[in-house]
Amino acid sequence: MNNLSYYGWTETLLRQKAKSIFKDLPHGRISVTHKTRYEVVAEEGYFSCELTGNMLYGRDPSEYPSTGDWVIFQPIDTEEGLIMDVLPRQKTLFRLKSGTISERQVIAAHVDKAFIVQSLDDNFNARRLERFILQLREEEILPVVVLTKSDLEFNRTEVETALRHITGEIPVYYTSIHDSDSIVALREFIQSGETVVFTGSSGVGKSTLINALCRKDVFKTANISTSTGKGRHTSTRRELVIMEGGGILIDTPGIKVFGVTNNDADSLNDVMDFSQFEGKCRFKDCQHIHEDGCAIIEALERGEIDPGVYESYLKLRKEVWHFTASVQEKRKRGKSIARMVEEVKKRSSKYK
């Protein structure tokens, strides 16, 4: 028997399940997503599940279940089942589906914290952090910056300067596989029942870090061997695992480009830490682009705002606008098609 509270099951989810017409069937959490199959961890064990037709048709692909989702399923035998319903999602980690301008792709659902892993050798990039943080804000997922390979040579002052506008409320961890205290500190930040996602490009040491964090003796080891976990995570599937001592960990395949699917351009002001200038622009709805009396542009001219940060602001602002406009456009198109269908129906019923 699995105790699903270790997998993040809560009273709130139980209340939501009670509203489903399938409330008498068992529930579980998706631990692995294959193309059309899902591995679901339930009280009675692991089930390999498929979707019922009503879960597939008439839905946007971003509404299909994903790793981390809680589902209600009909067991077929002791190992297989059919997914009948998905409980309402919260705290979903999305990205822009590559090759599209307005489609969201779910990376993981019910995520409390997202660990953005970058290595201090040559992978560290504040612009990429800003992008992730903006995306996470929309779903109220806590971003956590993890800078790996801190045993290698790097310019700490440079890194800290680049992070200055980011680090207000966002925790930053420097880790090295050769310094077990740094791993333990990160481990202690993950609490029981909490779901954490790890993202990062290939080669930053994410697998090494995850393996070290998941080791039974992570709290005791003095020396964590570098050879653990090398070349293990080569597949592209996502995996949800329980950590010894509590916490649920979801690994994601190396993501290089992360397109934002954010609708709220204002939250960018917080990501870039422009909030200190709030209310200081001449126009209330100032977008800080070319308006007269803009406090941000003035601060930029005085050298109080890093030009790189401001440039990044402009770029992300454009992306958010682009995404929002494409979504609205799509919605409008959808509506006019629905209207057309209605018209045809009305007209044809006249001749019946």
CA 226/CA 11 separation, integer angstroms: 40
Q: Are 125 and 118 in contact (CB under 8 A)?
A: yes
Stretch that binds ligand GTP, among 72-80, 154-162, 222-230, 258-266 (CB under 6 A): 222-230
Is residue 300 within a helix (H) or strand (E), and if so which, with residue range?
helix 295-301
Instruction: For ligand GTP, give the closer residue by CB, 33 or 262.
Output: 33
The distance of closest approach from Cβ of residue 277 to Zn ion in the complex, given in angstroms and rounded to an integer, is 7
Q: Are 217 and 30 in contact (CB under 8 A)?
A: no
238 binds ligand GTP (CB under 6 A): no
Instruction: For ligand GTP, give the closer residue by CB, 212 or 272.
Output: 212
Partner touching 51 among ligand GTP, Zn ion, none, CB below 5 to 8 Å by kind: none
CA 161/CA 154 separation, integer angstroms: 13
Instruction: For Zn ion, give the closer residue by CB, 152 or 289.
Output: 289
128 binds ligand GTP (CB under 6 A): no
CA 311/CA 331 separation, integer angstroms: 31
Residue 213: count of CB within 10 angstroms of its CB: 23
Among 151, 194, 298, 306, binds ligand GTP (CB under 6 A): 151
286 binds Zn ion (CB under 5 A): yes
Buried b (16+ CB within 10 A) or exposed e, 91-101: bbbbbbbeeee
Q: Are 213 and 249 in contact (CB under 8 A)?
A: yes
207 binds ligand GTP (CB under 6 A): yes
Q: Establish whether 12 is an annotated binding residue.
A: no
Residue 271: count of CB within 10 angstroms of its CB: 26
54 binds ligand GTP (CB under 6 A): no
Q: Pinpoint the alpha helices (H) of 91-170.
A: 126-138, 156-163
Q: Which residues pair with 74 in a beta bridge?
A: 82
Stretch that binds ligand GTP, among 72-80, 146-154, 241-249, 288-296 (CB under 6 A): 146-154
Q: Establish whether 267 is an annotated binding residue.
A: no
Instruction: For ligand GTP, give the closer residue by CB, 91 or 238.
Output: 238
* Beta strand 195-199 pairing with 248-251: parallel
306 binds ligand GTP (CB under 6 A): no
Among 29, 104, 128, 149, binds ligand GTP (CB under 6 A): 149
Q: State the binding string over 239-268 for ligand GTP (x if CB under 6 A, else -).
A: ---------------x--------------
Q: With CA atoms as reference, report the closest residue to 268 among 123, 110, 136.
A: 136
Q: The tokens 């659902």 sit on which residue?
A: 109
The distance of closest approach from Cβ of residue 147 to ligand GTP in the complex, given in angstroms and rounded to an integer, is 10
230 binds ligand GTP (CB under 6 A): yes
The distance of closest approach from Cβ of residue 248 to Zn ion in the complex, given in angstroms and rounded to an integer, is 42
Sign of the alpha-carbon torsion through 113, 68, 240, 134: negative
Among 31, 118, 176, 180, binds ligand GTP (CB under 6 A): 176
- Cα-atom radius of gyration of the chain, to the nearest Å? 23
Q: Establish whether 36 is an annotated binding residue.
A: no
Q: The tokens 């589906």 sit on which residue?
A: 97
Q: Which residues are annotated as a binding site for Zn(2+)?
A: 281, 286, 288, 294
Residues in the site for Zn ion, rule: CB under 5 A? Answer: 281, 286, 288, 294, 296
Q: What does the binding site for ligand GTP look like in residue numbers (CB under 6 A)?
A: 148-149, 151-152, 176-177, 200, 202-208, 226, 229-230, 233, 254
